[in-house]
Amino acid sequence: MNKMIYWVSVGNHEIFPQGEGNNHEFEIEANEQELDQLRELFDEADQIDSDLLVKRVSTPFEIFTPVGQEVKTLPYDRRLIEIYRTIYNLGLPKTKEHINGMNIL
């Protein structure tokens, strides 16, 4: 499969072919299968985030301790790290350098 350059925005969960879009943080080189994997990770993160929001709305006066908050967001945090790891693996040198500087992997 041929690989192409794509621009990725983690904050917006968006992937654009190079030259399209104007709001990206990273550049990756990926084939269709690798893009599908990254899109699936974004979809899973969105679902986890939605589930957390529904739980939070249903208990608006729940007091969160720092530890309690970390436990509740742990599934989302793990998915986000998996997203960054995938972007790192597919990333161009500048992308890898940026993610290394973030110290999240």
pLDDT reported for residue 66: 56
pLDDT one-digit tens code per residue, 45-91? 988 877 665 555 456 565 655 555 555 677 888 999 999 999 999 99
**H/E segment holding residue 88:** helix 66-90
Distance CA 60, CA 100 (A): 37
- State pTM to two decimals: 0.81
